[in-house]
C-alpha cells in the first residue's frame, strides 16, 4: 500500500497520483499543504525536511519526496518495459524531456504565467505579456518533440508522460494567448481521454486563486 501526503490541487501530487493510477496500484492520500497545513509538524518534517508535498511511503519503506523522483521509483518498481524502458539509452531519451519540463517549461509557466494569472503580482505592466510570449517557443519545442506521438515514447504511455502531461491541464484551461501547437493540442486531447488523468490531473485550481 502506498501512502501519499499532499493536496489534490498540487501539480506535483497530481503527477504521483496519476502514475499510481496508471500502474493500477493501491494507495491512500492524506491532504497536506496550502489550506490544509500540516507541513511544519515534527512528524511531517521528519519524513520530508523540506516541508513540501508530496511525501510518499511504499509500505514500511523510507519516505520519498520530490515528485519526479517518486514517479521514477514507481515506474522502475512497478512499470513494465513500455512504461519504464530497462535500456538506459532508450530511457534517457524520454527522461531528458521529463527533466526539461521540470527545469525549463514548468518554472517559466508556473511562476511567470500561471501565478500572475491567478492574482500574484507579475512585476510590471508588461511582465505578463512578455512572459507569455517567451513561453510560446517552449510550447512549440515540446509540440515538435511529441510529433505524431501518440505519447512521448511512442504508442504506449510512459513515466515521462506523467511528468510532462501534468503541466498541460493548467496550460490549456487558463485564458491566455498560446502558441499554435497542433501536435501538443492533440497530445493533450489524448491525455484527457484517460480516466486516470481526468481523475487526478483535471482538478479545479480555483482554490489557489489569490484574492485581494
Q: Quick one: 131 and 27 in the same domain?
A: no
Please, which pLDDT band fits residue 125 given cuts at 50, 70 and 90?
low
Q: What is the mean pLDDT of residues 172-199?
A: 98
- For the chain, the domain total comes to 2
Residues 59 and 113 in one domain: no
CA 191 from chain centre, in angstroms, equals 13
DSSP reduced 3-state for 121: coil
Residues 120 and 27 in one domain: no
DSSP type of residue 202: S
For residue 67, the model assigns a pLDDT of 98
pLDDT at 96 over 80: yes
Domain of residue 37, CATH code: 3.40.30.10
Beta strands 2-5 and 55-58, pairing class: antiparallel
Query: Does position 124 have pLDDT exceeding 80, yes or no?
Result: no
Mean pLDDT of 74-102: 98
**Domain span including residue 47:** 2-78
Any domain includes 83 = no
Task: State the CATH number of the domain containing residue 119.
Answer: 1.20.1050.10
Using the structure block, give the residue that is written with the C-alpha cell 506521438: 149
User: Within this chain, do residues 100 and 173 fall inside the same structural domain, yes or no?
Assistant: yes
Instruction: Read off the C-alpha cell for 132.
Output: 507569455
Strands (E), the chain: 2-5, 27-30, 55-58, 64-65
Same domain, 140 and 183: yes
Q: Is residue 19 part of a domain?
A: yes
Q: What is the mean pLDDT of the chain?
A: 96
- d(CA 29, CA 13) in angstroms, rounded, equals 10
C-alpha cell at 128: 505578463
> Does one domain contain both 64 and 109?
no
Q: Of the residues 49, 78, 107, which one is the last residue of a structural domain?
A: 78
Say yes or no: 40 and 66 in one domain.
yes
pLDDT, mean of residues 134-148 = 98
Mean pLDDT of all residues in 168-177? 98
Name the DSSP class of 110: I
Residue 200: what pLDDT?
98
Give the residue-averaged pLDDT of 54-63.
Answer: 98
Please give the Cα distance from 187 to 177 (Å, whole number). Answer: 19
* Predicted TM-score of the model (pTM): 0.96
Per-residue confidence band for 211, with pLDDT thresholds at 50, 70 and 90: confident
For residues 59 and 103, state if they share a domain: no
Average pLDDT over residues 100-109: 97
Residue 149 lies in a domain: yes
User: Residue 126 CA to chain centroid, in angstroms?
Assistant: 28
Amino acid at each position: 500500500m502506498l501512502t501519499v501526503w499532499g493536496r489534490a490541487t498540487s501539480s506535483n501530487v497530481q503527477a504521483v497520483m496519476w502514475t499510481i493510477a496508471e500502474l493500477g496500484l493501491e494507495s491512500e492520500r492524506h491532504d497536506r499543504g496550502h489550506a490544509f497545513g500540516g507541513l511544519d509538524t515534527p512528524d511531517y518534517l521528519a519524513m520530508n525536511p523540506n516541508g513540501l508535498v508530496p511525501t510518499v511511503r511504499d509500505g514500511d519503506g523510507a519516505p520519498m519526496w520530490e515528485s519526479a523522483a517518486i514517479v521514477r521509483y514507481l515506474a522502475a518498481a512497478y512499470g513494465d518495459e513500455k512504461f519504464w524502458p530497462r535500456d538506459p539509452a532508450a530511457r534517457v531519451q524520454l527522461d531528458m524531456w521529463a527533466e526539461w519540463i521540470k527545469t525549463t517549461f514548468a518554472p517559466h509557466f508556473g511562476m511567470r504565467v500561471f501565478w500572475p494569472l491567478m492574482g500574484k503580482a507579475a512585476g510590471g505592466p508588461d511582465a505578463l505579456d512578455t512572459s507569455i510570449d517567451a513561453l510560446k517557443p517552449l510550447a512549440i519545442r515540446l509540440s515538435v518533440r511529441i510529433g505524431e506521438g501518440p505519447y512521448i515514447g511512442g504508442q504506449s504511455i510512459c513515466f515521462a508522460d506523467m511528468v510532462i502531461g501534468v503541466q498541460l491541464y493548467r496550460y490549456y484551461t487558463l485564458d491566455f494567448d498560446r502558441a499554435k501547437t497542433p501536435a501538443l493540442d492533440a497530445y493533450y486531447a489524448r491525455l484527457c481521454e484517460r480516466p486516470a488523468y481526468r481523475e487526478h490531473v483535471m482538478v479545479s485550481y480555483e482554490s489557489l486563486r489569490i484574492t485581494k
